[in-house]
Amino acid sequence: MQQHSSGVFVLSMGRSGSTLLSRLLQQHPAICSISEYWTSLFMRGFGDPSLSGRDYWALLSVPPTWFGPWVEKARAAGELPAEILYDDARGRYRLRDCPPIAAMTLPALDADPDARVDALAQMVPNWPTAPVTTHSARLFDLLTTSLHKRLWVERSGLSYWYVPDLLQGFPDARYVHLHRDGREVVLSMMGMRFFDPVARVSWMLNVTPGTRLQKLLFFAKRDLARRLLLRVADLERAITRQHLRARPYSLPDRLSPAQRLSAYAHFWANTSELALEAMAKIPNERLLTLKYEQLVSAPRAELSRLIEHLLPGEAHAAWLDAVCALPQPQRARWPDLDPALAEELQRIIGPINRALGYA
């Protein structure tokens, strides 16, 4: 069988169908579908810092301070994100104390994520100092080999933020860019607690699309950007006691619906603009672009394109037969917006949305 020394990354803004895509790929016998790995680092890997094996393992095994209160509030409200798969009724950890790598990534790969954590804990701390991307490649290869797969495909919501790190740290990787109408993404993000902290920081900093500072931090000063983001979040938590709110780390309650929509729309437009500029450096032969809307309306055609990009020249009819009925179209929500809100949303995201092929 053909072996692949490098893998594939699915790039998306989040709320764009990437979770669905990851679950479909999990059913392919040759693919190690790694889900929400970059999400599980909670921005602490942003900028690709160089870490010892022990410090890298701390990223994977020790949740950040804010995670416990955040996850408990989400669970109490019945809004625990579906991406959090760890079952603390059966596992050894309370969810609030769960190793980040076990909260989302390992349960999708292994029926016993605790045992997998134990095995990794014996190896990873002994790895030599290296950039996070180097550690990550080693981890992905280890998981792929141990699961008797041939190709890893990593997929995280909001992977747009990591594009410069991926291009530098994985020079031979291939990519799948999955995107969705930004109007639908914004509305979906507003109801998803995972996006509360990053949308809040973006709103606090009042980031304007296309500014020199924004591009400098995203492309040239990523280590500084990570330290600023984490420091701002720590200071803001200490000052405002965010963890005590019913919905921690979300936008202020005083904001009107129009202001909330505007904040999320700017966040989507800012992030998408930067990611598209970064992705322009990917050679065409290593990049496949998929639209969510086409994936759910013509799944066999789109999944055939996808699997040929991932494992070219092989037979995949059995996998296609098994998964093509799973994607289901959803009714668009943005046409039901108040006309004034819809107009403001279109004003903010329109240029980037049109660049993605949406009217």
Confidence (pLDDT) at 245 = 87
Show me where the domains of the chain are located. Answer: 8-355
Architecture of the domain made up of 8-355: 3-Layer(aba) Sandwich (3.40)
- Answer whether 42's CB lies under 8 Å from 20's CB: no
CA dist 59 and 38 (Å) reads: 11
All residues at 6 or more sequence positions from 232 whose CB lies less than 8 Å from its CB, including other chains:
201, 204, 205
Look up residue 312 and give its amino acid: P
CA dist 177 and 167 (Å) reads: 14
Residue 290, phi then psi, degrees to nearest 5: -125, 140
Residue 121 pLDDT > 90: yes
Confidence (pLDDT) at 1 = 30
Tokens of 258: 């129009």
Angle formed by the axes of helices 132-146 and 53-61, nearest 10°:
70
- Answer whether 21's CB lies under 8 Å from 11's CB: no
- Answer whether 275's CB lies under 8 Å from 11's CB: yes
- Answer whether 239's CB lies under 8 Å from 322's CB: no
- What pLDDT digit, counting tens, does each position of 155-180 carry? 999 999 999 999 999 999 999 999 99
Tokens of 31: 């693919």
* Beta partners for residue 152, in sequence order: 32
- What pLDDT digit, counting tens, does each position of 311-346 carry? 999 999 999 999 999 999 999 999 999 999 999 999
Residue 283, phi then psi, degrees to nearest 5: -60, 145
CA dist 61 and 57 (Å) reads: 6
Number of H helices, E strands in the chain: 17, 7
Tokens of 279: 């992705």
**Half-sphere exposure for 8 (CA within 13 Å, toward CB):** 28
- What pLDDT digit, counting tens, does each position of 13-63 carry? 999 999 999 999 999 999 999 999 999 999 999 999 999 999 999 999 999
Confidence (pLDDT) at 26 = 97
Write the CA distances from 211 to 72, 121, 201, 207, 217, integer angstroms. 37, 42, 17, 8, 10
